[in-house]
Structure 1
Amino acid sequence: MHFRSLPALLALSLFFLAPALAAQSSVSEFRLGGSAAVLNDECIRLTPATPYVSGSAWFQNPMDLEYPFELTVDLVLGENDELGADGIVFVFHPNMQTGYRGEGMGFAGLYPSLGIEFDTYQNFHLGDPSGDHVAIMPHGQAHHARSMVGPVEVPNLENGAKRPLTISWHPGKHTLEVRLDGQLRASYTGDIVAEIFGGNSKVYWGATAATGRKINYQDVCIRKLVYAMVD
């Protein structure tokens, strides 16, 4: 195993002082599924503004959750507000797959998994609040009765802007933190390796999204990815 730092453009950085291999990353290193397509050298469009599609982008090398990571991307959740759906989920999973579309946001049905959802549509039957929201969800479950954290309401996400997202994991403290727009939106403390992945610390990470009857284009843009990568 070695530590790899993967910034989107030119800067290279190390997460902490340790023997490390630093290298650049590009969107070509992601495996795309469903409706996902490369937009440019930084951004992947997970869904176009088309009904009933789902897409995913998975980095092709797994990470080791026994070590810390910090992943920084930009999310773009489209421009349709009242008529927009459904959102993006940042996912950790032993395989690179796309889950169910619509309210499943390309995450539903992925087991075992941990998903950090950025939900832009209120599904009453799933316990969604009225506003856009963030939640940490286990095992491809979409109903908030199963939420590990949240739902936490956030200001409107569907304004076409790039929304900076940083997700960090501190295994010594067993703490997962989610910062959106520079603010801590969700934090979970627990042994996710044991609780979610049955002791398997080697997982893939990626982003999924979907539309249903209502639509939005939904993108993820890579900024900085620093973690212990499995050989």
Structure 2
Amino acid sequence: MRVLVLLLSVFLPVFLIAQASVEDFTLGGTARILNDECIRLTPDAQYASGSAWYEKAIDLTRPFELTVCLVLGENDDLGADGIGFVFHPTRQTGYRGEGMGFAGLVPSLGIEFDTYQNYHLADPSQDHVAISINGQTHHYASVSGPNPVPNLEDGNKHLLWINWDPIYQKLTVQLDGKERASLEADIVDKVFQGNATVYWGVTAATGRKTNYQDICIKKLVFAEAGY
């Protein structure tokens, strides 16, 4: 059963902390709930794509922390494609496959955990993390990365922490306890054209090569838009 806690502070707005909140996601494509913490975005099958969008918008003028675990399957050499985190003013999924669910979305911010090398996108040979804006998937346009990481296709849970600090205007991405990507920018103005209200979702896809790909919710801390 999910646990919801509201924290009140004279300095901060109302924050929602959600634990094991899979019920708060709208699922698309092949995405299915596995248990009270985990969503399987894709099965280990060819040309699958799945998405999970959190149902409530967040306010980017306030800080947020997303703590989850990623599972990117067990097929290493034969595995693909990876998982993307997408921030967009609506719950709209972009092009899948190598597009990681954020390709073509404008305005948008995407964080990719890519397990397949697409040469034409300037991917490194290793699994990698990158931050891109406005649906541009070629790494010439990445605002952070691509940064190689150790093999993610090992069947294990990989702890992910995404933090946004609006005071210092810094987005930080930590995977398995190490910072893998970051962006220092006024995201509200530079990316979302002054709109501080966005939704966030998680997408995954396979192609000719495959993997089951899961997200497991640990803790979500953010200010709901409108508070």
TM-score class, shorter: over 0.9
CA spacing shift, 1:59–1:192, aligned 2, 3 Å: same
Query: Which residue in 2 is equivalent to 1:160?
Result: 155
Percent identity of the aligned residues?
A: 62
Q: TM-score, normalised by structure 2?
A: 0.93
1:69 Cα shift?
0.7
1:19 Cα shift?
5.3
CA spacing shift, 1:22–1:105, aligned 2, 3 Å: closer
Query: Which residue in 2 is equivalent to 1:20?
Result: 14
1:93 Cα shift?
0.7
Q: Aligned partner of 1:227: which letter?
A: F
* CA distance in structure 2 between the aligned counterparts of 1:136 and 1:155, rounded to whole angstroms: 18
Q: TM-score, normalised by structure 1?
A: 0.91
User: Aligned with 2:181: secondary structure?
Assistant: strand
1:54–1:98 contact (8 Å) kept in structure 2: no
Query: Which residue in 2 is equivalent to 1:229?
Result: 224
1:23-75 C-alpha deviation (Å, 9 max, x unpaired): 64521110111111111110111111111121110110000000011110001
CA spacing shift, 1:62–1:213, aligned 2, 3 Å: same
* CA distance in structure 2 between the aligned counterparts of 1:121 and 1:100, rounded to whole angstroms: 16
User: Aligned with 2:98: secondary structure?
Assistant: helix
Q: Aligned partner of 1:108: which letter?
A: A
Q: CA RMSD in A?
A: 1.9
CA spacing shift, 1:229–1:97, aligned 2, 3 Å: same
Query: Which residue in 2 is equivalent to 1:179?
Result: 174
Query: Which residue in 2 is equivalent to 1:121?
Result: 116
Across the two proteins, how many residue pairs are aligned to each other? 224
Q: Aligned partner of 1:40: which letter?
A: N
Q: Aligned partner of 1:177: which letter?
A: T
Q: Aligned partner of 2:70: which letter?
A: L
Matched, 1:34 2:48: no
**Which structure 2 residue ranges, 5 or more long, are not aligned?**
none
* CA distance in structure 1 between the aligned counterparts of 2:101 and 2:13, rounded to whole angstroms: 36
**Which structure 1 residue ranges, 5 or more long, are not aligned?**
1-7
